[in-house]
């Protein structure tokens, strides 16, 4: 079956066409600047062709989806001979609140329920719905599935997801930890257990999803039992530009000093903080490493803070699960930076965790990176959220 996977933002739309039998990507790309002017990036991967970039007006997401569909059946570079080959569409949806504990086939009721979660993800959910509507308008008879970033974490116990605020905030407004990157944490934890040759249902795994957005998840016997992001993706690790955990009083203090309203201070915490805010160099770890190697002390500090926070979360999840069998590193930073994995793992010598220095040079490949006598097995596992969405979609349709 060929599946179109859609990840829709407010002014962008990423897509892939995946053949579910071979699990190969046939075509991929993105539409950018929707509603502003419009640009389509398209690549026929199955034929190994180069990316094509086309500037064209995209007043709404509907025109964007139409351009993607046209490109997919284009005489010269199309990856499909006919659009009827697309038998299902899988949509990434960011927030499923407490309503969605797994992926679902999209119906009008599902869309209404996703809309009810808009409050919890005001930047993402409305865009996800726009993408669903645009695809429905152009492919009315194709079944569609919603795959939620939050669903995997719905197995967390209440002691992990509740905040220490009046219970009424939960009862009345559903204020609690939800967690994100669920598709990635689920995919990577399963893959790590597969590589480890252990039963997913009997393994304690910690997944470090370290990308521009970063989160950690404790997966006990196949279930998420805790994760570092919260009501929103701002909680937890220090990220590219997000602060992660901070004393709420510091937020009020900064807002007063800088004369910022809620929107202003949230912008500071989401977009101007993290390793970029600390270093003043960049949110990209390649730039940070280069600056750090040249002696830039704030870049060095940002790296140390990032790794320390990762280690603190990993340590707390070892306590939460009363042990750990497997630690997996994934996403842009986790998959590509042996030096950073080493810095994090150095905190766990007391557990008998030992890396294999040669194996730890790996980038972007599934690989065991711990030494043969390490008490904890450590893996590099590239994440593949699109493939995970395609698998869920096929399973449901």
Give the shortest CB-58-to-ligand AMP separation in angstroms. 24
Alpha-carbon distance of 321 to 340, in angstroms, equals: 24
**What sections of 53-122 are H helices per DSSP?**
61-72, 108-116
The candidate with the shortest Cα–Cα distance to 179, out of 157, 212, 150, 206, is 150
Spot the catalytic one: 37, 70, 119, 149: 149
In degrees and rounded to multiples of 5, residue 192 shows phi and psi of -65, -40
Q: How many other CB atoms are there within 10 angstroms of residue 377's CB atom?
A: 24
Give the shortest CB-237-to-ligand AMP separation in angstroms. 12
Residue 29: how many CA atoms within 13 Å on its side-chain side? 26
Q: Which is nearer to ligand AMP, 212 or 221 (CB)?
A: 212
Q: How many other CB atoms are there within 10 angstroms of residue 262's CB atom?
A: 9
The site for ligand AMP (CB under 6 A) is made up of: 211-212, 240, 283-286, 331-333, 336-337
Which residue is associated with the tokens 């990840």?
Answer: 7
Give the shortest CB-154-to-ligand AMP separation in angstroms. 23
Alpha-carbon distance of 229 to 197, in angstroms, equals: 29
Q: Which is nearer to ligand AMP, 16 or 154 (CB)?
A: 16
Q: How many other CB atoms are there within 10 angstroms of residue 202's CB atom?
A: 11
Give the shortest CB-70-to-ligand AMP separation in angstroms. 28
Q: Which is nearer to ligand AMP, 134 or 234 (CB)?
A: 234
Whether the CB-CB separation of 370 and 356 falls below 8 Å is answered with yes
Q: Which is nearer to ligand AMP, 51 or 286 (CB)?
A: 286
In degrees and rounded to multiples of 5, residue 314 shows phi and psi of -60, -45
Give the shortest CB-104-to-ligand AMP separation in angstroms. 26
Here the tokens at position 388 are 């995970």
Q: How many other CB atoms are there within 10 angstroms of residue 158's CB atom?
A: 8
Which residue is associated with the tokens 């040249």?
Answer: 294
Whether the CB-CB separation of 156 and 226 falls below 8 Å is answered with yes
Which residue is associated with the tokens 């590239």?
Answer: 382
Q: Which is nearer to ligand AMP, 97 or 213 (CB)?
A: 213
Give the shortest CB-327-to-ligand AMP separation in angstroms. 18
Question: Any residues with CB less than 8 A from the CB of 28 and at least 6 apart, and which?
Answer: 14, 15, 16, 17, 43, 45, 386
Q: Which is nearer to ligand AMP, 138 or 359 (CB)?
A: 359
Give the shortest CB-116-to-ligand AMP separation in angstroms. 29
Which helix or strand (DSSP H or E) is residue 24 part of? strand 24-32
Alpha-carbon distance of 82 to 299, in angstroms, equals: 51
82 among known catalytic residues: no
Q: Which is nearer to ligand AMP, 60 or 212 (CB)?
A: 212
Cα(first)–Cα(last) distance of the chain, in Å? 10
List the catalytic residues.
149
């Amino acid at each position: 079956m060929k599946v179109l996977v859609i990840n829709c933002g407010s002014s962008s739309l990423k897509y892939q066409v995946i053949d579910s039998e071979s699990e190969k990507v046939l075509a991929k790309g993105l539409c950018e600047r929707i509603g502003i002017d419009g640009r389509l990036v398209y690549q026929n991967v199955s034929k190994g062709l180069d990316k094509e970039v086309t500037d064209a007006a995209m007043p709404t997401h509907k025109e964007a989806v139409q351009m993607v569909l046209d490109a997919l059946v284009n005489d010269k570079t199309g990856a499909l001979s006919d659009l009827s080959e697309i038998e299902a569409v899988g949509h990434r949806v960011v927030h499923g609140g407490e309503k969605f504990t797994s992926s679902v086939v999209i119906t009008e009721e599902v869309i209404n329920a996703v809309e009810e979660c808009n409050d919890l993800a005001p930047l993402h959910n409305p865009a996800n719905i726009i993408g669903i509507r645009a695809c429905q308008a152009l492919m009315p008879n194709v079944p569609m599935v919603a795959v939620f970033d939050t669903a995997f974490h719905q197995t967390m116990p209440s002691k992990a997801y509740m905040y220490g605020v009046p219970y009424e905030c939960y009862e009345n407004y559903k204020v609690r930890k939800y967690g994100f990157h669920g598709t990635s944490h689920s995919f990577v934890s399963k893959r790590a257990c597969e590589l480890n040759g252990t039963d997913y249902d009997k393994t304690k795994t910690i997944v470090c999803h370290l990308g521009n957005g970063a989160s950690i998840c404790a997966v006990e016997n196949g279930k998420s039992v805790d994760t570092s992001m919260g009501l929103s993706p701002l909680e937890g690790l220090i990220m590219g530009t997000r602060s992660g955990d901070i004393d709420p009083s510091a937020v009020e203090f900064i807002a007063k000093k800088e004369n910022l309203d809620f929107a202003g201070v949230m912008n500071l915490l989401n977009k101007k903080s993290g390793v970029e805010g600390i270093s003043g160099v960049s949110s990209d770890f390649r730039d940070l490493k280069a600056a750090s190697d040249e002696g830039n002390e704030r870049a060095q500090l940002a790296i140390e803070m990032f790794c320390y926070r990762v280690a603190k979360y990993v340590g707390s999840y070892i306590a939460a699960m009363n042990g750990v069998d497997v630690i997996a590193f994934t996403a842009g930073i986790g998959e590509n930076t042996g030096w950073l994995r080493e810095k994090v793992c150095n905190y766990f010598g007391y557990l008998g965790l030992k890396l294999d220095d040669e194996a730890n040079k790996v980038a972007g490949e599934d690989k065991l990176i711990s030494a043969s006598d390490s008490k904890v097995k450590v893996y590099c596992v590239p994440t593949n959220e699109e493939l995970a969405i395609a698998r869920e979609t096929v399973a449901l349709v």
